[in-house]
Structures are given as structure tokens and as C-alpha cells.
Structure 1
Amino acid sequence: MIASLVANVLEALRIGTGFLWTAAWAIIMGLIITSWVQVYVSKERMAQLLGSESISSLAKATGFGAASSGCSFGAAAIAKGLFRKGAHPMNTLAFMFASTNLIVELGLMILILLGWEFLVAELLGGLILILVMGIIIHFTLPEEMFERARDELNARDSEGGIEMDPTCGMEGSEEFTLVTDGGDTLEFCSQGCMETYEQKLAGQGGWRTELTSWGGWYKLGNQYRKEWSMLYKDVIAGFLISGFVIVFVPQSVWNTLFLKGSSTFVSAENAVMGVAIAVISFVGSIGNVPFAVALWSGGVSFAGVIAFVYADLITIPVLNVYRKYYGWRVMLYIFGVFFVTMAFTGFLMEELFDLFGIVPNLAGGKTATEQTYFELNYTFVLNIIAFALSGFLYYVYRKGLGAPSQIRDPVCGMRVEPNGISVTHDDETFYFCSETCKRAFEREPETYRSRSWEGLPSEPTHEDHGHDHR
């Protein structure tokens, strides 16, 4: 009995880690691309652009969301900031869905673990879902309830002294503050977000220019670190849970919950049940993809699986976040709109794919227990490349945080050594991470020499050497 249990646990771990190994390069590459977009795509005017109820605003919300990917909780926090500043509820919900479902890393994972059919259903279905959601909200939105929730949210945050981090939209902290040239005090959730904001102010043009400087790479490394800090728990939990579900959940459970057959009613029931399972799964963001693989391995229909993937924004923990932000009534409305649109779109995707004869055939491949995950193949090579890139970004991030001399490049804020590129201006020596930053300083020396990076000097003093002021 004990030997059998141990064998099953080991098999569950083998499958879970095997899934993670298979998708690791896709997650890393996706997060690198996401980090690049986050750093170089400006979102300052986002809330103003999402204030009206229109197809144009809905499309902008979808685009902004796809370019602002994150975990379910991060998406909810950013959406709260947008809503608080005036974004329409329809655009707020569209932003949340796009930022967790129409993103690079999720698409790559779905392609690798589930196949191209699921990827098409995720992307096409995601756009249809947002459109259907917009129609439902247009005809059902309780505007007074949402305006009241917005007023209460602003009042509560003001009374509590809560400020939103202008970098990520999360709740700011008095520990990390910055006074702008206009005298406004900004609060950030972390040192990393504050540095990102400072460096954006000091940015020198487009991404091509940024990528020639260590400061530009530091921004990318810092954002990449933040993306991982939001997602790693969901990723690890999703993969490990999927292994245990495949091994320990009997087939009879899936047969009971999900009806079998090829009728329209069966497809609809599977889609509804897929969303319901997602609500109680407690697995959000990209972590629900390996769980979806477990459902697919258990014989759940295409409609049920794709509806489950859509539904990471209405898991119980995320619903509780909505309740804290907006109150019970708004939370229930959001839940109802998301549940209906996610289940309907899952059902629609199966009917549409069946019409064109492209519903994937589960019986055509190996089961999760039959697969060999750790082999010397293209996955191994891609993972090595991805891990190397990840290590490089971490190195750049650490380099930016802790050069022993603690000297700051006055242009981009990168910490640099006192033996690199330098310029002397008015008898003061300034050091730079790259020729790009040096040229920027030479064009406008007075602009940059007065900039204070956390009070650190641009020229080293005796006390600075060998000490970490962080």
C-alpha cells in the first residue's frame, strides 16, 4: 500500500516536472518578450483612453491588456488603478482578460502542451469573448452601482493614504517614495518599480538605442525579475497539481462531472462545467494550462478544456480580491459576466471547430504517463538557450543593483564602476554604462548633473568603496 502510494507520488512529480521542463523555454522566452513590451510600451495615458464605452476603446483595452501581461492578481490590481482613474467597466474587464489570456507566454505554453487547435481557440475565442462581454455589459451594466463603487474606492484609498504605483498599478508604500520636479510625491510598491520609473524618465529614445546600453538591459532584467516574482507560484503550483490530478483523480470523476457524447447539450454542459472547475481550482494565470492538460488527458471535451483555460480570472482567490476592491455586488456582477461569456465562448469554439472538422483527437497521442520528458532533443537545446538568457538578465540586474563603488550613471541610473567610460564637466567626473548615455549627457549636461539617484553621488567618495547602500 505504502509502496504503491510512493510510486504514484513519484509518478505525479515526474509528470508535473516533465510538463514544466517541456514548457520552460516557452515560459522564459514569453516572459522576456513580455518584459520588453512592458519596459518600452508607454501606458501613461491608458486610463484616459479607456474612459468611454465604444468599440474603439474596447479594442484599445484589449491591445493594452495583451501588452501588459501578468498574473491574475496583478491584472486585477492594474485594472483597479485604471477603473479608479476613470476607465469604463467594460474596458476594465476587457483589459483584465486580455492581460491574462491573449499573451505571448500563455500562447506558447498552449501550443506546446495542448496543440495548435487550442492556441487558435484561445486567440480567436478570446477576441470573440471580449466582444460578447462588451455586448452583455452594454445592455446590463448597472452604471450607478459601478460609479458608487468607484467613489467608494477613491474615498477609501484616499482616507487610507493609499497611492497607486505609477509603474505597475499595485498599491504603493511610503517606504519607496519619489518627489517629482512638480512637487508631487509618488509611492511605489518596491525599489524595483521606483528604479524602473526613474529610468523611464531618463530614457534615451527608442528601444534600439536602449539595447545598446547596460542601463537599458538593466530595465529589461528588472522587469523580467518582477514578472517572475508575480508568476512563479502559479507556474509551480499549476504544473505540480496537474501531475497529481492525472495520477490520483479516477476517470470515473471526470465521467461524472462531464457528460459524454457529441450533442449540442453535451458541449454546452462541458463548457459550463469547465468554468465551474476553474472557479474552485485555485490555479490562475498560466498555471492553469498544465491543469487543462490534466482535464484533456481525463477525456474532458474541447469545449470544457478551453472554457477552463479562459476562466483564470474567476477563481475563488481572485473573486475575493474583487470583493475587497469593489464590494460584494460588483464582484457578483463581474463573476456573472465572466462566467457566462467564458462558458458561451468555450461552447462556441467547439461548435465552430466541429463545423470545420478541426476538433483535436485525444486518442491520437500518448498519455501523460506514457511520455518521456527528459531527452536530448530540441526541448533540451531550447531550454539551455532560455536558461542562459535568463541567467544573463539576472546578471545584468545584479550588476545594476550592486557595483561595488555604488556610482550612478546620471543618465539612466545604472550603477557603474569608476574605471569605465567617463566625462569631466565643471571639474566633476561622471561615469557611464555606455557611449549612448555618455553622448546623451554631453548634449544636455545640466539636465543630468542635477539628477539625484537615491542620493548617491555620481563621483565616488572614500566611504562609497566596497559598501552596499541598499
Structure 2
Amino acid sequence: MGGENSNFILHIFDVFFNMVWQIYWPLAFGLMLSSFIRNLLPVDTVSSNLGHTNVRSLSITTMLGVVSSSCSYAAASLSHTLLIKKATIANAMAFLVSSTNLILEMFIVLVALLGWTFLWGEILGGILLIIFVAVLFSQFFPKDVEDELREKLASENAPAATHDCGMDMGDMAHHDHMHMTHDENHADCGMDMGEMHHESHQHMHHEGHDHNHAQEGTHPESSMSDCGMDMGGKDMGSMSHHDHEHMHMENSDTGSSMAKITKAASFFHMDLAMIGKEILIGVVVSSLLIAVVPLDGWRALFISSDANLPIWLHSFLDVIIGIFVAMIAYVCSVGNLLLAAALWHGGISFGGVIGFILADVLTIPMMRVYQKYYGHRPAKWMVGLLFVAILMTGLCIDVVFHALGFAVNDSSLRPLIQDGFGMNFTTIMNLIFIPLSFWFYNVGKKANAGMGMSM
């Protein structure tokens, strides 16, 4: 008896570590990519291309999703970043769907496991889901809830903006000298502003390589738009064109690249501080469910194909059950296909399988991530509209494939062989991203600690 218990515990740990090994590199890659996009991608670029929901913007977000990470948590982080950058909710949700369901690695595993018919079903299902998401979120997401979401995003992004130059400008007075205390974060701006008198205040505007020289005046405040200047003890009125060029080149050569990496790393650290617990809980719960519940147990949840029910009702119930099973049994976008194959063998409808696969954005850990990112009410509306969109997609897939007479042959189903430890693609990518992500996390942690942000 003791041997059986120890074997069972070892099996749980084996499932857990194998799961972590499978999802580590795409998760790390996606969160790091999100942090760089959040730091480097201009708000104007996103808002001009994704600030309106139309065919062009949906095509862009779909393609961005296809080439991004396959991990749902990383996709949630990236869609969160797009919303911060002023993309519409419909475009952000379309990205979330495409990033988790229209990805190359999923297609490869899907063909190997379930055959080509399921691949076409997944592609068509992903496209239909993006269309339904765009319509539902554009037409039915309440305006007051969206305002609440935008306010939360603005409030959480505000502290980062105040530290862009390492300055607190709130205490500047009309006749006071400016005394700046230096810490690690001033490396981002490289400014030494020892003593500046009111008589030498002026506006400095730098655009490209053009430099407009300010004249001495009696302005009550200074407008410092260039954070790359060393101004300790200098009389700004006597600064020459050569001084400007020298300082601009010095800043570009020595500090800009590392400053950008440090700022991106700070976002990476903040993301993990916000959703790291949800990711860990999701992996632990999924490991336990897969280890404890046999595949036959999952199959028993579905209505037998021998039941005397109308086809439309059988399909409707299968899709509903498929979505709920995905909510509690989710592992990752690719790993979930193993359970999808088991459910198909157990008699679930074709649309039910597609609905189950598409529902990887509706798992319990993902709902907690939405709540952390957007607040209670916006998260509830997101989950509700995504549920309706996935249900509609699963039903449409069943109708289309029945109407076209597509038949899925069970003989094409093959067991999925997961990449484990050994010299394979997953191992190579983990060997790269494990040390890289730890280094990146520590850089971000130090940067946030320097700004007084404890996480």
C-alpha cells in the first residue's frame, strides 16, 4: 500500500515537472516579448492601427497572434499591453484568441494527434471565433465597464510614467533651486541638476537632430524634454550647438540600450508579480487533475452518441460541457490536445472538441488573470462574451462540417508523444530561456526596487 502511494505521489510530481518543462520557454518568451512591446511600441502606432475595430485591424491582430507565443498566460499579458497602448477591446481579445489557437506548434500537434480534418476545423473555428469576438465586444461590451477598465489601466501605468526620467517634479517652486537626489534609476536619464537658478530657466526642445537654443528669461518652470543631458553646473544660456551634439551622442552610445532593457525588465517583473501566483496555481491544479482523473472519467461527462437526442441539442450540450471541462482541466494550448483526443474517442461531437480546444482562454486561472489585469466587472464581461463567442463557434463548426459531409476517421487518431528531457527542441529552448528569464527578472526587480516599488 505504501509503495502504491509513493508511486502515485511520484506520478503527480512527474506530471507537474513535465508540464512546467513543456510550457516554460513559451511562457518566458511571451512575457518578455510583452515587456519589450510595452516599453518600445509607441502608443500612437497602436492607437492609429488598432484603435478602431475593422477588417484591417483584426487582420493585423490575428497575424500578431499567429507569430507570438502560444502560452495563454503570455497571450493575456500581450493583450493587456495592447489595451494599455490604446487598442480597442475587440482587437485585444482577437489577439488573445489568435495567439492561443492559430499557432504553428498547435497545428503540428493537432495533425499528428487528431488528423487533418481537425486541423481545418481548428483553423475555421479560430477565424470564426475572432469574428464573433469582434462583433460581440464591439456591440455588447458596456461603455461604462470599458471606462472602468481604461481607468484601471491608466492608474496602474501612471507610476511607471513618473519614473521615466527618474524625477519628481511635484515639489518645484517658483524661486527654489532644484536639488535632485541620485539613485540607481537616474541612469535612465543621466541627469545631474545640481543648482539651477530661476534666471537661467528655459524650454529645451529636441526633435531628431534639431536643437532650438533657448534664451535666458524669467519663466517660472523649466520644461526638460530631453532626459539624456548632463547639466551639472552648466549655464544653459551659454550652451552651444556642439554641446548639444556631444551630449546627445554620449547618451545614445552609453545608456540608451541598457536603459530600454532595464525598463522592459521592470514590466516583466511587474507582470510576474501580478499573475505569477495564478500561473503556479493553474499548473498545480492541472497536474493533479491529469494525474488523479483517468481519461475514462473525462469521457463520462459527455452525453453518449447513442442517446436519443436531436442533433442540434446533442451538439449544444457537448459544446457547453466541452467549455466547462476546459475551464477546470486546462494545461496549455498545445498540451490540452491530449485530453481533446481522449474526449473525441469518448463520443463528444466534432464541434464539442473544437469548443473544448478554443476554450483555453476561459480557464479558472486565466479568469483570475483577467480579474487582476482589468478588475471584477470588466473581467466578468470578458468571460461572458468569450463564452458566448466560443459556444457560437462550436455550434457553427458542427453545422458546417455536417452540411459539407466531412467525416472524421477514428483510425487517424494517434497518441501524442510529448517532448520530455533529452536533446530536443523544448530542451534547447529551455536552456536558453531559463537563465535568460532569471537574469531579466533580477534586472527588473532591482529597477523596481530603486523606484520604491515593492513586489
Report how far residue 396 of structure 1 moved.
11
Residue 271 of structure 1 aligns to which amino acid in structure 2?
Answer: V
Residue 255 of structure 1 aligns to which amino acid in structure 2?
Answer: A
Q: Note the 1:328-339 alignment, pairs <5 A.
A: 328-339=376-387
Residue 98 of structure 2 aligns to which amino acid in structure 1?
Answer: A
* Alignment counterpart, residue 251 of structure 1, candidates 296, 302, 308: 296
Per the alignment, do residues 132 and 36 of structure 1 end up closer, same or farther by CA in structure 2, a change over 3 Å counting?
closer
Whether the 8 Å contact between 2:298 and 2:343 is mirrored in structure 1 is no
Whether the 8 Å contact between 1:238 and 1:290 is mirrored in structure 2 is no
**Equivalent-residue separation in structure 2 for 1:93 and 1:355 (angstroms):** 29
**Equivalent-residue separation in structure 1 for 2:118 and 2:56 (angstroms):** 27
Per the alignment, do residues 340 and 395 of structure 1 end up closer, same or farther by CA in structure 2, a change over 3 Å counting?
closer
**Equivalent-residue separation in structure 1 for 2:86 and 2:372 (angstroms):** 19
CA distances 1:191-246 after superposition (whole Å, capped 9, x unpaired): xxx869559x9xxxxxxxxxxxxxxxxxxxxxxxx9xxx9x97998799668636x
Correspondence for 1:102: 102
TM-score between the two structures when normalised by the length of structure 2: 0.58
1:386 equivalenced with 2:386 (yes/no) = no
Per the alignment, do residues 389 and 284 of structure 1 end up closer, same or farther by CA in structure 2, a change over 3 Å counting?
closer
Report how far residue 138 of structure 1 moved.
3.2
Whether the 8 Å contact between 1:65 and 1:99 is mirrored in structure 2 is yes
Per the alignment, do residues 165 and 279 of structure 1 end up closer, same or farther by CA in structure 2, a change over 3 Å counting?
farther
Correspondence for 1:305: 353
Residue 343 of structure 1 aligns to which amino acid in structure 2?
Answer: L
CA distances 1:291-323 after superposition (whole Å, capped 9, x unpaired): 323433444332222211111111112112222
Correspondence for 1:287: 335
Report how far residue 51 of structure 1 moved.
0.3
Per the alignment, do residues 242 and 395 of structure 1 end up closer, same or farther by CA in structure 2, a change over 3 Å counting?
closer
Correspondence for 2:393: 345
Identity across matched positions, percent:
25
Per the alignment, do residues 234 and 103 of structure 1 end up closer, same or farther by CA in structure 2, a change over 3 Å counting?
farther
Q: Gaps (5+ residues) in structure 2?
A: 165-183, 191-205, 207-224, 229-256, 265-271, 441-455
Q: Gaps (5+ residues) in structure 1?
A: 167-173, 186-193, 202-225, 402-470
Correspondence for 2:54: 54
Residue 73 of structure 1 aligns to which amino acid in structure 2?
Answer: Y
Q: State the structure with bigger RCO (CA 8 A, min sep 6), 1 or 2.
A: 2
**Equivalent-residue separation in structure 1 for 2:163 and 2:63 (angstroms):** 21
What SS does structure 1 have at the residue aligned with 2:69?
Answer: coil
1:260 equivalenced with 2:299 (yes/no) = no
Per the alignment, do residues 251 and 98 of structure 1 end up closer, same or farther by CA in structure 2, a change over 3 Å counting?
same
* Alignment counterpart, residue 320 of structure 2, candidates 255, 269, 272: 272
With 276-285 and 175-184 compared, the bigger mean Cα shift is at 175-184
**Equivalent-residue separation in structure 2 for 1:105 and 1:234 (angstroms):** 25
Residue 321 of structure 1 aligns to which amino acid in structure 2?
Answer: V
Per the alignment, do residues 294 and 13 of structure 1 end up closer, same or farther by CA in structure 2, a change over 3 Å counting?
farther
TM-score between the two structures when normalised by the length of structure 1: 0.57
Whether the 8 Å contact between 2:71 and 2:100 is mirrored in structure 1 is yes
Structure possessing the higher radius of gyration over alpha carbons: 2
1:354 equivalenced with 2:393 (yes/no) = no
Residue 399 of structure 2 aligns to which amino acid in structure 1?
Answer: E
Residue 244 of structure 1 aligns to which amino acid in structure 2?
Answer: A
Per the alignment, do residues 13 and 155 of structure 1 end up closer, same or farther by CA in structure 2, a change over 3 Å counting?
closer
**Equivalent-residue separation in structure 1 for 2:120 and 2:281 (angstroms):** 23
Report how far residue 50 of structure 1 moved.
0.6
Residue 260 of structure 1 aligns to which amino acid in structure 2?
Answer: S
What SS does structure 2 have at the residue aligned with 1:286?
Answer: coil
**Equivalent-residue separation in structure 2 for 1:117 and 1:31 (angstroms):** 32
Per the alignment, do residues 6 and 270 of structure 1 end up closer, same or farther by CA in structure 2, a change over 3 Å counting?
farther
Report how far residue 337 of structure 1 moved.
1.1
Report how far residue 111 of structure 1 moved.
2.3
Q: Note the 1:296-445 alignment, pairs <5 A.
A: 296-362=344-410, 365=413, 384=423, 386=425, 390=429
CA distances 1:413-433 after superposition (whole Å, capped 9, x unpaired): xxxxxxxxxxxxxxxxxxxxx
**Equivalent-residue separation in structure 2 for 1:115 and 1:81 (angstroms):** 35
Residue 273 of structure 1 aligns to which amino acid in structure 2?
Answer: I
Correspondence for 1:67: 67
Residue 118 of structure 2 aligns to which amino acid in structure 1?
Answer: F
CA distances 1:138-193 after superposition (whole Å, capped 9, x unpaired): 332312320232023212442xx246999xxxxxxx979744996469xxxxxxxx
RMSD: 5.0
**Equivalent-residue separation in structure 2 for 1:310 and 1:11 (angstroms):** 28
